[in-house]
Amino acid sequence: MSNNRATVPEFGGTVNLGKPIIAEGTGVGTIKTTAATNYAINGLMYTKAITDNIAVTASPLQAALTTCLYVVGVDAAGAVTVVKGTEQLTADLASGNKVLQFPDNRSPLVCPLGYIKVVTATATTFTAGTTDLSAAGITATYQDVFQLPPAPLLS
């Protein structure tokens, strides 16, 4: 009898199994989930309940006329974090000269629930955790994910 365990892949992973529907929170500079979601971290299952007024992790200022991705994740204890990606000039994205990268400084112990794409207008800056996501000159788009896409976004 042979032991073929070495050829069998290990199962598990970090994935979001639900649709948390990330949205702007009712408090200034906050977000919320409008549906409960199940998720796995390293193959172990957890649930994040509907939560409003989730404090957004403060991050460096996003300049005017830029677009940036902010990844929303949750850990095993249900704590939500938001990690800022690298901002790009919106004009460079529109011309195809740049792409939006997902942040690479995310913790492996946090499951991505989704991301927020923030676009700033002329003379408008954005600071996560401080600036309201519906402030004048800010366009925020919310996207839930199973896992983060393997490729960058083109716009």
- pTM confidence score: 0.90
| Residue partners of 134: CB distance under 8 A and separation at least 6 | 24, 140
Phi, psi (degrees; rounded to nearest 5) at 94: -65, -35
Distance in angstroms (rounded) separating the CA atoms of residues 128 and 96: 26
Task: Say whether 104 sits in a helix, a strand or coil.
Answer: coil
Closest CA to 115 of 77, 68, 150: 68
Distance in angstroms (rounded) separating the CA atoms of residues 82 and 116: 9
Query: Mean pLDDT throughout 143-154?
Result: 92
At 5-56, the pLDDT tens digits run 454 455 679 999 999 999 999 999 999 999 999 999 999 999 999 999 999 9
